[in-house]
């Protein structure tokens, strides 16, 4: 079994990530109805389950079969008709039109060669008024330099959002423990960006 299974077990009872909860408050205040969401790199499935619980239909995408098995096992029976799954890499996946695309700590695992292709697919898949909610990793992250991962400067991260209405862009840099490491320097950008409607809103 993959080392990711140990990670899923360790994270199984966590709360949705703070960025997701921030978006959720925006969504609830807007009184918009639940729509269709894509959870990119669904992992242990916490955010997928939260979306299902609030009436959303969700496509959960992850390249590890263990993650998808984990999500299906945890999904309540009454919600499974609104759950779709794909075991596939982001660069090979086809993203249907979505009201929300959530990528919690997952996009940095795209290689530099694939990242821009995946980002273009995300922007294309967002419906007018739809939101991207996710993280980028910064160049001072302790994993920076890994050739199969993608790291950005603040300028690069902001440039990706040209043409979108940015509702949150916040940079964090701190040392903290992880499941696999006693201490890790985490350098991240938290992003919520909305695809503009034809009227510009």
Q: Please state, as a whole number, how many other Cβ atoms lie within 10 Å of the Cβ of residue 141.
A: 20
pLDDT digits (tens, 9 = 90+) for 98-115: 999 999 999 999 999 999
Within a domain: 55: yes
Residue 26 structure tokens: 């925006």
Continuous segment of H or E residues that includes residue 28: helix 18-30
Within a domain: 200: no
Decide which of 36 and 8 is more confident: 36
Q: Look at residue 27 in the predicted model and tell me its pLDDT.
A: 96
Residue from 140, 159, 157, 137 nearest 148 by CA: 137
Q: Is a pLDDT exceeding 80 seen at residue 170?
A: yes
pLDDT digits (tens, 9 = 90+) for 71-86: 999 999 999 999 999 9
Q: Look at residue 1 in the predicted model and tell me its pLDDT.
A: 45
Collapsing DSSP to helix, strand or coil, 58 comes out as strand
Within a domain: 201: no
Question: Which range marks the domain in which residue 154 is found?
Answer: 3-195
Within a domain: 113: yes
- Percentage, residues of the chain above pLDDT 90: 83
Q: Look at residue 197 in the predicted model and tell me its pLDDT.
A: 83
Continuous segment of H or E residues that includes residue 72: helix 65-74
Mean predicted confidence (pLDDT) in 18-36: 96
Query: Measured between alpha carbons, how far is 163 from 5 in angstroms, rounded to an integer?
Result: 38
Within a domain: 175: yes
Within a domain: 153: yes
123: domain CATH number is 3.40.50.150
Total number of domains in the chain: 1
Within a domain: 170: yes
Collapsing DSSP to helix, strand or coil, 109 comes out as helix
């Amino acid at each position: 079994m993959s080392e990711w299974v140990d990670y899923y077990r360790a994270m199984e009872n966590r709360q949705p990530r703070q960025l997701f909860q921030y978006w959720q408050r925006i969504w609830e205040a807007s009184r918009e109805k639940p729509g269709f969401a894509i959870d990119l790199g669904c992992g242990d499935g916490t955010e997928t389950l939260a979306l299902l619980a609030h009436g959303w239909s969700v496509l959960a995408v992850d390249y590890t079969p263990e993650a998808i098995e984990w999500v299906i096992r945890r999904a309540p029976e009454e919600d499974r008709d609104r759950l779709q799954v794909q075991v596939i890499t982001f660069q090979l996946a086809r993203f249907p039109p979505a009201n929300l695309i959530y990528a919690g700590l997952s996009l940095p695992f795209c290689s530099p060669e694939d990242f821009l292709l995946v980002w273009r697919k995300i922007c294309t898949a967002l419906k007018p008024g739809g939101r991207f909610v996710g993280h980028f990793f910064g160049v001072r992250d302790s994993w920076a330099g890994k050739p199969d991962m993608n790291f950005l400067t603040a300028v690069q991260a902001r440039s990706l959002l040209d043409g979108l209405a940015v509702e949150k862009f916040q940079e964090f840099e701190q040392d903290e423990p992880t499941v696999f490491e006693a201490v890790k320097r985490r350098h991240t950008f938290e992003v919520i960006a909305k695809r503009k409607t034809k009227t510009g809103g």
